[in-house]
A and B are shown apart, each in its own frame.
Chain A
């Protein structure tokens, strides 16, 4: 009853010059950034000029790519013949500032950049990071300096947040609340709230109580100053969204064989289909395998018990217990994978075995890249 899904052919994707963007997505803690970095290195080794865009990577992983600061500048990490690997860390606030500077005249830009609401918006983690990652992706793509961009999506509350960022921005800009706040500017400085009916009066009272008058004033200044920049914002968000749907993009969903991560992977696969985004396949990281698969958990545990009761071969019994535990874990992981496959039988999959150590350097990344490309599809079979 073991399903054999199509194998995700990583090299074919990286070798295809038509592939210009690879987006790695998945829930937190599944090795997404490592996967992105390993794909970037492998692409470079295969002759491409690739850049890995990471968002908030773990320190040692950043070091493994020679990244020491968050400065929005792609740096050369590795050269392999024709191929090159660049890497950069996203500076969310800097990216946001640049958009403002590009779209507003200097005076208005100054007003926005110094507003407390802008400072909160541009440096906070939730939401903005997703949007800025996509913005940076768009910039890198338009610069055409790299022939392959690999982007690691932010560790969102929900792995889907970055897809929603452009739309949420649009909804935000079109919201009635925004229009209410903008009203004073449009009505020549008269109080916004007086222009509206009793319903709005109620709201105005609540707003003032909730936020305080000073906050309302800051907000209004902020929103009207941003007004000029809004059109450009939405346009860029839409462009990036279209870029993600384009044929040169490949989404790689990353998971570990745990229930939560696989569930998130399922949502992701479904969501990408809904949005008509091109899915390349699923990478399952940290899969536990055993070199002794022929010996099932059940037989192993029974034999251990037998030896223990006879009081013989203590070491063998302990080793058999260890093996039984390992096989049990592998079986559980296998079940999680089967759940996914029964719902998504056509999604190409590749598994990467759990490594005992974290990746510290390019050698480690190279090894992960090799495993990704080897297509070690389901080597574990279970009879337990």
Chain B
């Protein structure tokens, strides 16, 4: 890999953690970010941890195994690899890697220890999952270089992200000394380093915006590096400011539209033109009100003083072509 330095907002970051409220398109943004980071000949690993097989669905692939494999080629010839982390398999890996105990690991699995760990101490589960991710970040090839130029983690939603990343604290009470403690410190070393940034995905709606700001405050107080805010599904308005401004107040001239409709041959007679024009006017007023609210939310997000990136709403829904479109936007805005 000949990874050349690029002038982006996140040069030097190797672990991109992507979180967001449910329904904001977290997986979509993580996938597009991975494509964007890989563009121009880099190698990027996209990781998912919640067993939802969201990556497979979004790239239109059969379910991913617990194995790093190439799933997409980035614009300009980079590679995106993907890994769906299964906590059980991650534990076997961990045992083998650090203790050379694969067989004992299998026995533990059979006895339901993973079930146990998930039930009694979710912190353990998170350490295994983040442990596997940070291992991929640190991994070096035979030539001594890092295997991946960047790792993108499709992380749990905003409500859980603080606990998820704050692994040391989560297991500290359970394991004051011993290997789990050591392992969590290793993980924490990566997560809290300058090589990690946590990005938030939001919509221009009140609840996700509020959750984003709360999440940012939480991470900051935990000493974790906040990355950027990806504002997803932004609908562009082609209407002039002045028109929107008066439409917000409910003032919009339907007569002019009626004339336009007639000119375009869209109306059968004057009364029809007026009826359609009035319906469209109602749509414009509603649109203007929403645009106004979006403006307020944008201003609120700016209070977080982190870079904001805007991604367009994909009219045809999220498909492979859409991901590449978003990746291009991400590059153009300087996020990758």
Q: Which residues of A contact B (CB under 8 A)?
A: 27-30, 56, 58-61, 116-117, 119-121, 124-127, 155, 157-158, 168-169, 171-172, 175-178, 180, 199, 202-203, 205-207, 209-215, 218-219, 222, 256, 258-261, 290-292, 294-295, 299-300, 303-304, 306-307, 312-313, 315-323, 325-326, 328-329, 332, 356-358
Contact = CB atoms under 8 A, between A and B. Distances in A.
A210 B315 contact: no
B135 to A, nearest CB: 16
B263 A307 contact: yes
A28 B159 CA distance: 11
Contact of A315 (B210, B256, B264, B315): B256
Nearest to B103: A202
Contact of B174 (A27, A120, A312, A328): A120
A157 B52 contact: yes
11 contacts: A29-B22, A120-B173, A124-B122, A126-B160, A212-B178, A290-B279, A303-B261, A307-B260, A313-B256, A315-B240, A356-B293
Given A321-B238, A356-B293, A206 B105 contact: yes
Interface stretch (B32-40, B281-289, B298-306): B281-289
A322 B236 CA distance: 9
B23 interface: yes
A180 B283 contact: no
B3 interface: no
Nearest to B203: A29
A155 B175 CA distance: 28
Interface string B252-296: 000011011101111000000000100110111011011001000
Contact of A211 (B51, B101, B180): B180
B51 A157 contact: yes
Contact of B111 (A175, A300, A319): A175
A322 B99 CA distance: 61
B122 A126 contact: yes
Given A176-B111, A290-B283, A332-B316, A60 B210 contact: yes
Contacts, number: 233
A260 to B, nearest CB: 8
B228 interface: no
Most chain B beta-carbon contacts within 10 A, residue among A205, A211, A214: A211
B318 to A, nearest CB: 8
Given A222-B120, A328-B315, 10 more contacts: A120-B120, A127-B119, A155-B22, A175-B116, A177-B115, A203-B111, A260-B54, A313-B256, A316-B261, A320-B264
Nearest to A293: B279
A144 B272 CA distance: 58
Contacts of A121: 119-121
A295 B180 contact: no
Nearest to B205: A358
A322 B207 contact: no
Contacts of B170: 120
Closest 6 CB pairs of A and B: A212-B178, A28-B22, A29-B23, A316-B260, A313-B260, A29-B22
Contacts of A304: 264
A205 B265 CA distance: 82
Interface string B158-169: 011001000000
Contact of A292 (B51, B181, B280): B280
A319 B121 contact: no
Interface in B122-175: 122-123, 125, 156-157, 159-160, 163, 170, 173-175
